[in-house]
Amino acid sequence: MDEELLRWSIPVALGGVAVASLFSSLLFNVSGTWERVREPGEEHKGPPERLTLGQLGPFVRGRREVSGGWQEYGGSMWGRSVTLLRRDFGVDALTKSNFPEVLAKKLHGDVFAELKLMLVEDGTMLRGTFMPQKIDFLLAPPRITERRWLTPVPRSYRRVSAVELEEERTLGMAG
């Protein structure tokens, strides 16, 4: 292969991939607030489970507040497919999930789940799977004995409009 052609083809190919990914992120964007849709028969307690996502090109970041801490999401989007890792933060949140405090401090910021979702229904729904991580531990002395990925379960989120969020805030302040 001609050396000059090779010298130009690699940067052009990388540039093409970058342009395609930026164009794709304009067509298929997941930025906004998403509310979990419960599967039939799935128990639900407390307020709606919501996460807020932001996207810059193929990179997606997000956050969800939980009692005593927060969850951070990070990953990428190619076309309509989104893959996210969830990291859990907050010693209080982890102790509420039945981890001893000493292990909660150690697990603060670790990966606890992976989501593989597809943007569907004209960008109003994310559907796919949620794969949690099972962490086994001993109490005396407190230590982690095993970590393993569990079988993926179905997971869906619907895009929540700004109007819905504002109405909820207004009703919450009035009540």
What pLDDT shows up at residue 19?
Answer: 65
What pLDDT shows up at residue 9?
Answer: 77
What pLDDT shows up at residue 168?
Answer: 63
What pLDDT shows up at residue 140?
Answer: 82
What pLDDT shows up at residue 28?
Answer: 76
User: What residues are paired with 105 via a beta bridge?
Assistant: none
SS (H, E, C) 81-100: EEEEEEEEECHHHHHHCCCC
- Record the tokens describing residue 17, joined without a space: 């991939």
pLDDT band for 164, please (50, 70, 90 cuts): low
What pLDDT shows up at residue 162?
Answer: 62
Q: What is the DSSP letter of 49?
A: -
Q: With pLDDT > 70 as the criterion, what percentage of the chain qualifies?
A: 84
List, in order of start, the domains of the chain with CATH numbers: 3-174 (2.40.128.30)
> What are 89-144's pLDDT values in tens digits?
999 999 999 999 999 999 999 999 999 999 999 889 999 999 999 999 988 888 89
Instruction: Please name which of 34, 32, 29, 31 lies closest in space to residue 157, comparing C-alpha atoms.
Output: 34
Question: Tokens 């010298």 identify what position?
Answer: 7
- Report the distance separating Cα 38 and Cα 54, nearest Å: 23
pLDDT band for 46, please (50, 70, 90 cuts): confident
